């Protein structure tokens, strides 16, 4: 892997300014961050070794300003579609983790012509309440997010910024765990999708993977062994190998038994 350096820009869109971090070259790819906010994992760096990676900061996260007209998950999807149209030549592959996967699903459903391949890492938005493990404090949250403590990224953001991130999450999701409207429209997604679930994930249950696999016509489902919810950080090499193979092969991709095994 070559040394990867991300440059940060503010892109003027119709509803406001969108902060985007970009690295690499090749086919455009959007990496949509989780509810934890934008972080550069080993997998994101591996993607930038092969693709032109754009990592937008969803408005309201990490000190960025909210867009007054973007208040819902579908609004976020439409905002990402505008970015793809303006900055990616009209098409991009999508990798979404957690919250970003939820945005990616709506993006693929609402703007099929803009989407190449779709990677969903333990996406939020399709979780039954009774199956969700809910942390009581920050320590429990970390334990649920990560199975490999040595790979937990160092937190450099202020408590106020993290609190603002949680507020932005609540504003967009309105506390909804299961998006019934999205579930009803999964069959309309035309993009080929790779669904990755952490084998040890208690925040996004296995049922979510089954719902996605049954609903998205062209989809592959596999589990990342040794990973909890933060798949990219717990198992960066296993995850990046699968994702890069999928992005390279597309419709020729096959999930191999050895890919997720120890």
Longest CA pairwise span in the chain (Å): 47
Task: Please provide residue 48's backbone torsions phi and psi, each rounded to the nearest 5 degrees.
Answer: -70, -15
The conformational region for residue 62 under phi > 0 = left, psi -120 to 50 = alpha, else beta, is left
Could you give the number of structural domains in the chain?
1
- The pLDDT-based confidence of 2 (bands split at 50, 70, 90) is low
Give ∠ CA 52-252-201 in degrees, rounded to 5: 70
Whether residue 224 is contained in a domain is answered as yes
Report if residue 158 sits inside a domain: yes
**Is 36 part of a structural domain of the chain?**
yes
Would residue 144 count as lying in a domain?
yes
Question: Residues 55-89: pLDDT tens digits?
Answer: 999 999 999 999 999 999 999 999 999 999 999 99
Mean pLDDT of 101-116: 99
Evaluate if residue 257 carries a pLDDT over 60: no
- The range of the structural domain enclosing residue 208 comes to 7-260
Q: Is residue 50 part of a domain?
A: yes
What is the per-residue pLDDT across 173-201, written as a single tens digit (0 to 9) for each? 999 999 999 999 999 999 999 999 999 99
Q: Mean of the per-residue pLDDT values for the chain?
A: 93
Query: In 10 A of CB 39, how many CB atoms?
Result: 18
CATH number at 122 reads 3.40.50.1820
pLDDT value at 53 more than 60: yes
Helices marked H in 50-158: 73-87, 99-110, 138-145
The conformation of residue 64, written as its DSSP 8-state character, comes to: P
Q: pLDDT tens digits, residue range 18-28? A: 999 999 999 99
95 vs 245: CA distance, rounded Å: 13
- Judged against a pLDDT cut of 50, whether residue 259 lies above it is answered with no
Please state the rounded mean pLDDT for residues 239-260: 79
Does residue 161 form part of some domain? yes
Residue at 1 is within a domain: no
- On whether residue 2 sits in a domain, the answer given is no
């Amino acid at each position: 892997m070559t040394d990867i350096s991300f440059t940060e820009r503010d892109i003027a869109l119709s509803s406001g300014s969108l902060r985007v971090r970009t690295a690499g070259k090749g086919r455009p790819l959007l990496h949509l961050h989780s509810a934890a906010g934008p972080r550069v994992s080993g997998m994101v760096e591996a993607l930038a070794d092969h693709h032109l990676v754009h990592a937008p900061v969803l408005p309201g996260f990490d000190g960025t300003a909210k867009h007054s007209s973007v208040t819902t998950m579908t609004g976020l999807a439409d905002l990402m579609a505008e970015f793809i149209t303006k900055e990616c030549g009209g098409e991009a592959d999508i990798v979404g983790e957690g919250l970003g996967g939820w945005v990616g699903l709506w993006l693929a459903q609402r703007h099929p012509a803009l989407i190449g391949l779709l990677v969903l890492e333990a996406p939020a938005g399709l979780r039954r309440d009774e199956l969700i493990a809910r942390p009581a404090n920050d320590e429990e949250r970390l334990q649920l997010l990560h199975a490999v403590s040595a790979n937990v990224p160092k937190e450099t953001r202020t408590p106020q910024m993290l609190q603002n991130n949680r507020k932005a999450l609540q504003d967009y999701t309105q506390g909804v765990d299961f998006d019934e409207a999205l579930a009803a429209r999964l069959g309309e997604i035309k993009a080929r999708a790779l669904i990755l679930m952490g084998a040890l994930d208690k925040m996004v249950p296995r049922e979510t993977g089954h719902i996605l696999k049954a609903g998205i016509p062209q989809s592959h489902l596999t589990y990342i062994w040794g990973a909890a919810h933060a798949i990219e950080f717990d198992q960066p090499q296993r995850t990046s190998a699968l994702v890069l193979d999928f992005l390279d092969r597309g419709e020729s991709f096959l999930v191999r038994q050895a890919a997720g095994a120890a």
